């Protein structure tokens, strides 16, 4: 029969390890138990707190115990234990040899065999200890199922810790990672095995925990926390859970760790394998108010802010941009300048919002075509001014390429202005003029004129000289 190994890694802080055996399907044993406990003592040594080789521990007949090479021995505070360590191992099949607090056995169980172990201040082992305990003297036979319980001297309670199968030598061989109180009993109905197939799926401030049904289980308990290594001593638990079970009230962005146990009238199983997940908020809404403004070799993309932590821009030279077809610019904020782009080529843009819950759908699409930077227009040529009607002057000029409008500046002066700037800075401005432009309501006198061309880049320069001589208006 293949030997099954059970690793036990909880109930820390107890100096005494008490191992007892339970034969599943038996109400008792016909074998007369030993009257008293037998013990054996020895000494072991570590210079650094780590075993250099396998260390056999002195034990009485019926018990074999060893510590694997490379095992770190620590005390209850996690400090390595060095120097000489006195070991004492006891073996008994008599209930009277149990500590008084442990003498009340799990319901429906009969003691088979127990072992207590003391190693001074040592409490924990970085590698599982290997223990072989003979249970044949209690009536167990090869192939029998032995249920393992743990006794916690802090709570004075027995807790189911698994089931072992008796090998052909009449032994069971669990392993432990620290010293505590363990018991193996004969029991007609053992607790269920631990749940398998445990999974945890994240949601908004919640997690959904699921598992495979366990034969013989009547209920389940979920234990969870924000620190890995969850045990049944975890403060937070969900008793009476059913798969799938939604655990609510969790903090988004915080990892949570979950284990599940199965229960029946005989007790609670060991914990399942641990799983973890991190609750997250729902993905944000897609951005709106998308704008795309072209520049020289670039486009400035803007949008209305939503409840997101960052944004992605996707763009292409083909309409119908998606997250799969567009070029992605990640982790941007509005407004964002996309560059370098090719002048004269239309570009199409969409935006997505991102948070811990994922990425939104794409926004509506906007397009823009980058163009070279526009220059201010040159000064108009062919300037002329005439007056044939009292109080009026007609001003004309040649059209300037790239200009979208024109400004006329005029100044009434008995003498010619010294510079062009004098007319512009002190004269009267007529905006959006069209050649020829008729100026009315002019008092009689001599007038001097300047004309400038305007476009989106700004107002161009005027002619370097004033129109001279001035125009006499009657």
Hey, what long-range contacts does 414-417 have (CB within 8 A, 24 or more apart)? 414/445, 414/446, 416/448, 416/466, 416/468, 416/469, 416/470, 417/448, 417/466
Output the CA–CA distances (angstroms, integers) from residue 410 to 143, 311, 448, 464, in the order listed: 116, 53, 6, 15
Arch. (CATH architecture) of 288-368: Sandwich (2.60)
Between 334 and 134, residue with greater pLDDT: 334
Highest mean pLDDT: which range of 11-15, 49-53, 163-167: 49-53
At residue 8, does pLDDT exceed 60?
no
Ordered DSSP codes for 139-171:
T--TT-EEEEEEEETTTTEEEEEEEEE--TTSE
Mean pLDDT of 196-204: 95
| Range with the poorest average pLDDT among 120-134, 335-349, 377-391 | 120-134
At residue 337, does pLDDT exceed 60?
yes
Report the C-alpha gap between 212 and 4 in whole angstroms.
22
Output the CA–CA distances (angstroms, integers) from residue 93 to 98, 151, 255, 278, 350, in the order listed: 9, 16, 46, 48, 77
Per CATH, 199-277 and 288-368 having the same topology is answered yes
Among 243, 249, 252, 246, residue whose Cα is nearest residue 207: 246
What pTM, to 2 d.p., does this model score?
A: 0.47
* pLDDT of amino acid 6: 33
Mean pLDDT of 307-333: 96
* pLDDT of amino acid 137: 73
Q: What is the pLDDT of residues 98-148, one digit of tens each?
A: 888 888 887 777 777 888 888 889 888 898 888 888 887 777 788 777 777
Phi and psi, residue 319, nearest 5°: -65, 160
Q: What is the pLDDT of residues 76-91, one digit of tens each?
A: 888 999 999 999 988 8
- Fold entry, domain 384-473: Immunoglobulin-like (2.60.40)
Mean pLDDT of 390-397: 93
* pLDDT of amino acid 304: 96
Domain spanning 199-277: which superfamily? Immunoglobulins (2.60.40.10)
Between 106 and 386, residue with greater pLDDT: 386
In the chain, what are the domain boundaries? 7-187, 199-277, 288-368, 384-473
The structure tokens 């044939």 sit at 388
* pLDDT of amino acid 16: 37
> Torsion-angle region of residue 62: left (phi > 0), alpha (psi -120 to 50) or beta?
left
Report the C-alpha gap between 429 and 92 in whole angstroms.
115
Q: What is the pLDDT of residues 214-264, one digit of tens each?
A: 998 999 999 999 999 999 887 789 999 999 999 999 999 999 999 999 998
At residue 414, does pLDDT exceed 80?
yes
Burial state string for 351-389 with b = 16 or more CB within 10 A and e = fewer than 16: bbbbbebebbebbebbbbebeeeeebbebbeebebebee
Two tokens at 2?
A: 């293949």
Instruction: Express as a percent the part of the chain with pLDDT over 90.
Output: 52
* pLDDT of amino acid 184: 61
| Range with the poorest average pLDDT among 125-134, 311-320, 460-469 | 460-469
* pLDDT of amino acid 188: 57
Report the C-alpha gap between 102 and 159 in whole angstroms.
12
Report the C-alpha gap between 472 and 414 in whole angstroms.
10
Between 175 and 240, residue with greater pLDDT: 240
* pLDDT of amino acid 41: 93
At residue 25, does pLDDT exceed 50?
no
Is CATH 1.25.40 the right assignment for the domain spanning 7-187? no
* pLDDT of amino acid 441: 93
Instruction: Express as a percent the part of the chain with pLDDT over 70.
Output: 89
Identify the band that residue 178 occupies on the pLDDT scale cut at 50, 70 and 90: low
Peptide bond just before 317 cis, omega within 30 deg? no
Between 113 and 9, residue with greater pLDDT: 113
Output the CA–CA distances (angstroms, integers) from residue 330 to 141, 357, 392, in the order listed: 67, 16, 63
Mean pLDDT of 152-173: 81
* pLDDT of amino acid 26: 38
Highest mean pLDDT: which range of 62-66, 90-94, 134-138: 62-66
């Amino acid at each position: 029969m293949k030997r099954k190994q059970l690793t036990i890694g909880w109930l820390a802080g107890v100096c005494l390890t008490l191992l007892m055996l339970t034969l599943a399907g038996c109400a008792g044993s016909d074998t007369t138990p030993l009257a008293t406990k037998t013990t054996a003592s020895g000494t072991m040594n570590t210079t650094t707190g780590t075993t250099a080789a396998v260390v056999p521990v002195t034990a009485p007949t019926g018990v074999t115990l060893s510590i694997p090479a490379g095992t770190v021995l620590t005390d209850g505070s996690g400090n390595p234990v060095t120097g000489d360590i006195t070991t004492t191992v006891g073996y008994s099949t008599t209930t009277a040899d149990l500590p008084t607090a442990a003498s009340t056995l799990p319901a429906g169980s009969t003691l088979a065999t127990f072992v207590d172990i003391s190693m001074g201040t040592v409490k924990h082992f970085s590698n599982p200890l290997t223990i072989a305990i003979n249970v044949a003297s209690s009536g167990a036979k090869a192939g029998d199922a032995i249920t393992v319980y743990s006794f916690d001297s802090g709570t004075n309670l027995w807790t189911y810790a698994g089931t072992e199968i008796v090998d052909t030598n009449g032994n069971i061989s669990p392993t432990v990672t620290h010293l505590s109180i363990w018991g193996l009993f004969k029991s007609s109905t053992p607790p269920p095995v631990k749940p398998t197939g445990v999974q945890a799926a994240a949601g908004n401030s919640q997690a959904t925990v699921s598992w495979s049904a366990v034969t013989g289980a009547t209920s389940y308990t979920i234990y969870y926390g924000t620190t890995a290594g969850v045990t049944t001593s975890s403060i937070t638990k969900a008793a009476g859970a059913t798969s799938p079970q939604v655990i609510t009230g969790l903090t988004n962005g915080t990892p949570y760790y979950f284990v599940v146990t199965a229960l029946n009238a005989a007790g609670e199983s060991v914990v399942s394998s641990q799983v973890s997940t991190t609750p997250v908020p729902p993905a944000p809404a897609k951005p709106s108010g998308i704008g795309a403004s072209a520049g020289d070799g670039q486009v400035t993309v803007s949008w209305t802010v939503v409840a997101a932590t960052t944004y992605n821009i996707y763009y292409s030279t083909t309409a119908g941009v998606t997250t799969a077809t567009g070029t992605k610019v990640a982790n941007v904020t509005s407004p964002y300048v996309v560059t370098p782009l090719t002048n004269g080529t239309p570009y199409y843009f969409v935006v997505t919002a991102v948070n811990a819950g994922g990425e939104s759908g794409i926004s509506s699409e906007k397009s823009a075509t980058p163009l070279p930077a526009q220059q201010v227009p040159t000064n108009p040529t062919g300037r002329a001014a005439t007056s044939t009607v009292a109080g009026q002057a007609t001003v004309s000029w040649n059209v300037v390429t790239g200009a979208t409008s024109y400004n006329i500046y005029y100044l009434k002066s008995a003498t010619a202005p010294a510079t062009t700037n004098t007319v512009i800075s002190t004269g009267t401005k007529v905006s959006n003029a069209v050649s020829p432009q008729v100026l009315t309501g002019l008092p009689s006198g001599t007038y001097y004129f300047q004309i400038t061309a305007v476009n989106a880049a700004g107002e161009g320069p005027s002619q370097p000289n004033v129109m001279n001589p001035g125009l006499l208006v009657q």
